Amino acid sequence: MGSELLMMDSVLSGGDGGVTGGANLFPRFFSAAYQAAASGDLDGVQQMQKTMIRLQQLYTIGQHASAGIKGIKCALDIAGICSARMAEPFRRFEMPEKQSVHNLLNGLRKDPLLTKDFASLGQF
């Protein structure tokens, strides 16, 4: 389907869901986004879309086409979920990209729609 920004529109149009990279880090949020779309909660969808747009910043850190994968892997590493190690020929983020991901996560921590996911991630 492409961008996870399209998931809720897809569900509202009769789709069954999406395979979203961000759900690796924020599973409760993406599940709630699906539920809002599946139930036709347009106000909820609109609010979640705003958060999802902010999450997209994670995929724009770095210079290469692999930035999206690197952003997710780096965020998962910072959260202590898995290593940021990438298969060859890719390389993980180093400074300053890693610091940019960390700063983004700290900014996202203030979003009330992500509270439950951050509670399970703990401090980093």
- pLDDT tens digits along 29-50: 999 999 999 999 999 999 999 9
CA 77 to chain centre: 14
Pick from 119, 10, 117: nearest CA to 55: 117
pLDDT of residue 1: 65
* pLDDT, tens digit, 9 for 90 and up, residues 89-118: 999 999 999 999 999 999 999 999 999 999
For residue 51 the two structure tokens come to 């958060």
Which ranges constitute the DSSP H helices of 13-79? 27-38, 42-55, 67-78
pTM score, whole prediction: 0.91
Place of tokens 């086409």: 65
Q: Does domain 4-115 have CATH number 3.20.20.70?
A: yes
| DSSP structural state of residue 49 | H
